[in-house]
Chain A
Amino acid sequence: MGLKPLLEMRFPVQGNDFIQAGEASSRIKRTLQQIGMESSLVRRAAIASYEAEMNIVIHAYHGELVLTIWPNLIEIVAADVGPGISDVALAMQEGYSTAPESVRQMGFGAGMGLPNMQKCADELLVETKVGEGTRVVIKINL
């Protein structure tokens, strides 16, 4: 990127841990609020990172969220060790979900996470390798 990051913060996320779930993204939200980011940017970043965090909790084994603030953008990277996604285009479709019944009972698995990230981000990248893991990059312009 050439430029130097202004701030970098890392938050570990544990797969299948529904008690801790949401903490990384609420830390990200709070951080951006305290820095004085505009509330609409904070909201977009919070929704996107929450969805990314929940996808690690629900679909992967473990991973982390990394918040990086660049002079011109907010970047959130959600990287995990997990099963990966075999068909990214399909996963990006609204309503597509492989979440098991037990998770749907908790109100997740509507297949809206990735589409929501897409809506909130100015740029969304999904890099994945089946059997290894997934890396989702969310970019929001300042």
Chain B
Amino acid sequence: MVPFFHSVRLDADKCKGCTNCIKHCPTEAIRVRAGKAHILEDRCVDCGVCIRVCPNHAKVVHTDPLTRCKEFAYNVALPAPALFGQFAELSEPGAVLDALLGLGFDEVFEVPLAADLVSQAMRRFLQERGPGPWISATCPAVVRLIQVRFPELIPNLITLESPMEVAGAIARQQAIRSTGLSADRIGVWFITPCPAKVTAIHQPEALAQSSVTGAIAVSQIYGDILKLLPRAGSARRRLQASGLGLGWGRAGGENVAVGIANHLAVDGIHNVIDLLEELEMGRLQDVSFLECQACTGGCVGGALTLENPFIARVRLRKLAAQLPQVCSLDLAAMEEEWGDVFSIKGEIVPRPMTPLATDMYSAIAKMERLEIIERRLPGLDCGACGAPNCRALAEDIVRGRAEEKDCVIRMREMWYTRPDMEKAKGAKP
């Protein structure tokens, strides 16, 4: 299997080896070894939780600088819906499009507009495919989570691309048509709130290649946009997207835009995990459409945003209310013009966590050892060993990547019960 690409990386110089990230990681994918955090590649889903909790800012996301535009003859910006919720004084969302053009992009294609189209495609999908339950595949952290922890739910994923991918595919074709340039001379840049989207660009799950060239973090481009935001009332461009498309940037917005009965929206990766557990157990039969977003508040809560997600969420709702509530574009006409840019064409494959051993007999033997070791550990789940809890350390030990003496309490016990220590009672180590 191709190894995971990960957008979330460690800046080893900044990492102090604290236990914040290991304790918060929803898939137990981080260990501290020799004073530095390490990401277990087969478990990380790029949700970005560790970026938010790291007090030393040692978790970094591999995004592109604006200067990469120089490598291309023509550049298109794809602003995410969440970007529009970042600015306090913004009265007209179109002003953000102006600012992006002011920064040197040759064209802007609104991801909220692609969201409008994806909403229509989803509505059609749900009507054609029956009751489900169907899970939206638009949050790439959720898709990876399902591949890693809930492979049985892969058939429940809606096989439609995310608004980002659709926006990229249409924008690239438009650029080719309007400039006559070849595809490789056109740069298409997603302005991203999200580390998982960066991963989805560099290693798309079911595509040979993403239509998007790279990703520029909202947090990086924020200051540049802010400087160029025109005063209220002077925006030249207007948003073409509807309020519903813009609403995709916040939790619940996708549900509203798709407008199907028996829907459910859940945000925050821990909540998503709980809900998928329920679903996998077959206990959510009356839900037909599930919007799952890894970030609290939805994409406005993405790890690469700056504004408080709750504030951004309200702001996005207000902006969306000013826009028309119907999309100006027709799905069938767009398909006619640009081809099927909507369906996920490849296969989303299971990527289950590596078992303790490849054959069942040795895995079971390791499982027995794991149980015995776990019983010897103190059960404090303190994290000082570098694993998120005692059971995880026991697992690491049987996997051969940790030792029992990594537990400070076990270490002290072992010291005191050494034969020579028994003799020299009372002596301090």
Binds A, one of B233-241, B297-305, B353-361: B353-361
- With contacts A9-B371, A36-B355, A39-B352 taken as known, whether A26 is within 8 angstroms of B277 at the C-beta atoms is yes
Any chain A CB within 8 A of the CB of B373?
A: no
Residues on B with beta carbons closer than 8 Å to the beta carbon of A33: 352-353, 355
Any chain A CB within 8 A of the CB of B347?
A: no
* Interface residues as binary, B357-375 with A (CB distance below 8 Å gives 1, 0 otherwise): 1101101100110110000
Any chain A CB within 8 A of the CB of B350?
A: yes
Closest chain B CB from A44 CB (angstroms):
10
Any chain B CB within 8 A of the CB of A46?
A: yes
- With contacts A7-B368, A43-B152 taken as known, whether A36 is within 8 angstroms of B363 at the C-beta atoms is yes
* Interface residues as binary, B273-291 with A (CB distance below 8 Å gives 1, 0 otherwise): 0000100111100000000
Interface, chain B (partner A; CB < 8 A)? 151-152, 277, 280-283, 350, 352-353, 355-358, 360-361, 363-364, 367-368, 370-371, 395
- With contacts A33-B353, A36-B355, A39-B352 taken as known, whether A46 is within 8 angstroms of B280 at the C-beta atoms is yes
Closest to A120 in B: B282
Residues on B with beta carbons closer than 8 Å to the beta carbon of A9: 371
Interface, chain A (partner B; CB < 8 A)? 6-7, 9, 26, 31, 33-37, 39-40, 42-43, 46-47, 50, 69, 107, 116
Give the one of A34, A43, A116 with max B CB within 10 A. A34
- Contact check, B364 vs A69: say whether CB atoms are below 8 A apart: yes
- With contacts A46-B281, A47-B282 taken as known, whether A40 is within 8 angstroms of B152 at the C-beta atoms is yes
Q: How far is the CA of A26 from the CA of B364 in the complex (A)?
A: 18
Give the one of A36, A50, A69 with max B CB within 10 A. A36
- Contact check, A35 vs B363: say whether CB atoms are below 8 A apart: yes
Residues on B with beta carbons closer than 8 Å to the beta carbon of A36: 355-358, 360, 363
- Contact check, B367 vs A7: say whether CB atoms are below 8 A apart: yes
- Contact check, B282 vs A34: say whether CB atoms are below 8 A apart: no
Closest chain A CB from B167 CB (angstroms):
33
Q: How far is the CA of A7 from the CA of B370 in the complex (A)?
A: 12
Residues on B with beta carbons closer than 8 Å to the beta carbon of A42: 152
Residues on A with beta carbons closer than 8 Å to the beta carbon of B352: 33, 39
- With contacts A34-B395, A39-B152 taken as known, whether A6 is within 8 angstroms of B277 at the C-beta atoms is no
Residues on A with beta carbons closer than 8 Å to the beta carbon of B355: 33-36
Of the candidates A7, A40, A107, which one forms a contact with B364 in the assembled complex, judged by CB atoms under 8 Å apart?
Answer: A7
- Contact check, A34 vs B151: say whether CB atoms are below 8 A apart: no
Residues on A with beta carbons closer than 8 Å to the beta carbon of B361: 6
Q: How far is the CA of A44 from the CA of B266 in the complex (A)?
A: 25
Q: How far is the CA of A36 from the CA of B358 in the complex (A)?
A: 7
Q: Nearest 9 pairs between A and B by C-beta?
A: A36-B355, A35-B363, A39-B151, A43-B152, A7-B364, A6-B364, A39-B152, A36-B363, A34-B356
Contacts A/B (CB < 8 Å), 9 sampled = A33-B355, A34-B353, A34-B370, A35-B356, A35-B367, A36-B358, A40-B152, A43-B280, A47-B282
Q: How far is the CA of A37 from the CA of B281 in the complex (A)?
A: 17
Residues on A with beta carbons closer than 8 Å to the beta carbon of B282: 47, 116
Residues on B with beta carbons closer than 8 Å to the beta carbon of A46: 280-281
Residues on A with beta carbons closer than 8 Å to the beta carbon of B363: 34-36
Closest chain A CB from B3 CB (angstroms):
19
Closest to B363 in A: A35
Closest to A8 in B: B368
Closest chain A CB from B31 CB (angstroms):
17
Q: How far is the CA of A33 from the CA of B280 in the complex (A)?
A: 14
Residues on B with beta carbons closer than 8 Å to the beta carbon of A35: 355-356, 360, 363-364, 367
Residues on B with beta carbons closer than 8 Å to the beta carbon of A107: 283
Closest chain B CB from A31 CB (angstroms):
6
Residues on B with beta carbons closer than 8 Å to the beta carbon of A50: 281
